[in-house]
Amino acid sequence: RFVIPGLFALGIWLLLPPLFFYLLRPHIAAALTFLCATMFLPEAVSLDLPVLPSMGKEEIASLACMLCCVGFAPRAITRARPLRGPEVLVLVLCVATFVSIANNQEAIRHGPVVVPGVEMTSILGAVISDLMSWAFPFFIGRALFTRSEELRDLFVVLILAGLVYSLLILFEIRMSPQLHRWTYGYHQHSFAQTLREGGAYRPMVFMRHGLHVALFTVMYMSAAWILTQTRYVMPFVSFVPKIVIAGYLSVILVLCRSTGALLYGLVIAPLIYFAGGRLQTIVAVGLAVLALSYPAIRVAQIIPMTELIELSEEQFGKKRAHSFAGRLRTEEQLTTKIQERPIFGWGSSGRAMIRDPITGENTTTFDGVWLILFVRSGLVGFVCVFGLLLAPVFQAFRRWGELRSKQDRAMVAGLSLMVAIRVFDLLPNSTTEGYLTLLSGALSGVVPGILREQASRDAQKRVEAAAPGSAPAVGRPGRGEAPRRDQANPSLGKGLLGSPGPRKPRR
């Protein structure tokens, strides 16, 4: 059977981002660059270059997209004024990384095992890794998504990607998770973790784990429910009612058999469909505050963990309760270790591992990004990354009432929920894909962008009203307003392959 070598796939894929940016509008090209890498490129393979960090599919997508933005959309990049937004926190993170590595030069002995100090030469690789993981995707989102049409396009691209991926998910649910092995010659993760109760399978497709597929499903399902609250036409599949698409993608989420993602879906879908936008932003802020305060809650032992484990066993069975309890025990052990170096951390996750004092064997495994950040860069690293991702949620909550268009309010409120759920998922999991960070950046850029357009239209109306003998302007929908129900989608009609077509005036 013919298989594609992983490094060859990474190399060939590098031809796609320039092609996307040449053919498509920059914001659509950027979204496709991150999504295609996450959806189809191989896992557990990377380019290992001297000094630089390992370049897996997410890092390559981030770097390629940033270079293409500079080459194909320089005006958008300069207009966004780099480092004038929340991404300045990444600079603080880079300084924290330097201090953390400098403070962890000594070796640590655990019985016969000696854990060496962190080499100063690793600083450059660590800083570049932070830029590619957090700064580039966030800034690209903030720079390219500044209008309501562009935010709508982001939802549309997510939904279309979800419709394509749903077919692969259904295939693996029926045939077992084999697509990655058939395409690239190996399983990207332990096959045993795809087996669920009753002999069912949890799909992985081309992602790292079934949990990543499930969170991706939550995102495109949420985008579909958000569009049901607007009058925008869904391109390419306009003959299918939007509510049917949202319902179909919700069924796919259930079939992914991920308890955490299913709980996210049960929260976000009813909120989007039944609740108002203000309530959605309040819930998003509540989740953001909980995510930011979670380390303090764990250190103070405020949450009754024993009762939670018992409730988990009662509702989801002993197997999942045992897994949940193991995660909590690891968090308790590592939070004790973190308190020895709380500000800048241990420099690397390996130095803070709990090891057997006699054999030196590692006895800890953990996935939560919050814990990884705290171990590596301490409180400063945690605040920088989570502050970067959640700052747009607080901004959207504060300025949501200034948005005039019902369509804009629905989309901004829904995206706030999506971003808050994504960051909340970083507490138990390590879902760090670039397209997720792009969502935070898009929320950061679109809210002030829409408000600037509103202010510009107001100023133009005042000028026209002040001009003597000026005729009233022909009624045309503003950029932040929605088209009529019978009007074609203006941005994606021709927008996928060029600039949006002319808008028809309202009669």
The span from the CA of 339 to the CA of 499, in Å, is 54
Name residues whose C-beta falls within 8 Å of residue 95's C-beta, 6 or more positions apart in sequence. none
Check: CB of residue 273 under 8 Å from CB of residue 247. Answer: no
The span from the CA of 287 to the CA of 323, in Å, is 23
Helix H segments across 145-231?
A: 148-175, 179-184, 210-228
Using only C-alpha atoms, the chain has a radius of gyration, in whole angstroms, of: 24
Residue 466's Cβ-side half-sphere holds a number of Cα atoms within 13 Å equal to: 6
The neighbour count for residue 3, using CB atoms within 10 Å, is 12
As given in the structure block, the two tokens for residue 322 are 């045992």
Model confidence band, residue 490 (pLDDT cutoffs 50, 70, 90): very low
Model confidence band, residue 67 (pLDDT cutoffs 50, 70, 90): very high
Let me know if 297 is exposed, middle or buried by CB neighbors in 10 A (0-12, 13-18, 19+). Answer: exposed
As given in the structure block, the two tokens for residue 175 are 């045939």
Check: CB of residue 123 under 8 Å from CB of residue 101. Answer: yes
As given in the structure block, the two tokens for residue 313 are 């066993």
As given in the structure block, the two tokens for residue 121 are 């030469």
Model confidence band, residue 472 (pLDDT cutoffs 50, 70, 90): low
Nearest CA to 417 out of 228, 231, 272 is that of 272
Model confidence band, residue 184 (pLDDT cutoffs 50, 70, 90): very high
Question: 157-161, 230-234, 312-316: which has the highest mean pLDDT?
Answer: 157-161
Query: Which residues does residue 201 pair with via DSSP β-bridges, in sequence order?
Result: 195
Buried b vs exposed e over 380-398: b needs ≥16 C-beta within 10 Å? Answer: bbbbbbbbbbbbbbbbbbe
Q: Using DSSP, state whether 256 is helix, strand or coil.
A: coil
Model confidence band, residue 478 (pLDDT cutoffs 50, 70, 90): very low
Residue 489 has pLDDT above 90, yes or no: no
The span from the CA of 130 to the CA of 53, in Å, is 10
Given its phi and psi angles, is residue 51 left (phi above 0), alpha (psi -120 to 50 degrees) or beta? left
As given in the structure block, the two tokens for residue 380 are 């400063």
What does the pLDDT read at residue 355? Answer: 80
The span from the CA of 389 to the CA of 243, in Å, is 30
What does the pLDDT read at residue 505? Answer: 43
Model confidence band, residue 363 (pLDDT cutoffs 50, 70, 90): confident
Angle between helices 57-72 and 6-13 (to 10 degrees): 10
Check: CB of residue 253 under 8 Å from CB of residue 386. Answer: no
Residues 18, 492, 476, 465: is their CA dihedral positive or negative?
Answer: negative
The span from the CA of 252 to the CA of 217, in Å, is 7
What does the pLDDT read at residue 361? Answer: 79
Model confidence band, residue 469 (pLDDT cutoffs 50, 70, 90): low
Q: What integer is the mean pLDDT of 117-124?
A: 88
- Mean pLDDT (the chain) is 87
* Alpha carbon distance, N-terminus to C-terminus of the chain: 61
The span from the CA of 405 to the CA of 501, in Å, is 21
Residue 140 has pLDDT above 70, yes or no: yes
Residues 392, 398, 403, 406: is their CA dihedral positive or negative?
Answer: positive
Given its phi and psi angles, is residue 199 left (phi above 0), alpha (psi -120 to 50 degrees) or beta? left
As given in the structure block, the two tokens for residue 17 are 């981002």
Name residues whose C-beta falls within 8 Å of residue 363's C-beta, 6 or more positions apart in sequence. 353, 354, 355, 356
**Which residue shows structure tokens 């709508």?**
152
Q: What are the φ and ψ backbone dihedral angles of 55, each rounded to 5 degrees?
A: -105, 90
**Can you say how many angstroms the Cα of residue 136 is from the centroid of all Cα atoms in its chain?**
13
Global confidence as pTM: 0.90
Check: CB of residue 148 under 8 Å from CB of residue 408. Answer: yes
Check: CB of residue 155 under 8 Å from CB of residue 240. Answer: no
As given in the structure block, the two tokens for residue 259 are 């308890």
**Which residue shows structure tokens 């495109």?**
220
Helix H segments across 238-276?
A: 242-255, 259-274
What does the pLDDT read at residue 1? Answer: 67
Q: What integer is the mean pLDDT of 207-211?
A: 93
Residue 251 has pLDDT above 50, yes or no: yes
At 370, the amino acid letter reads: W
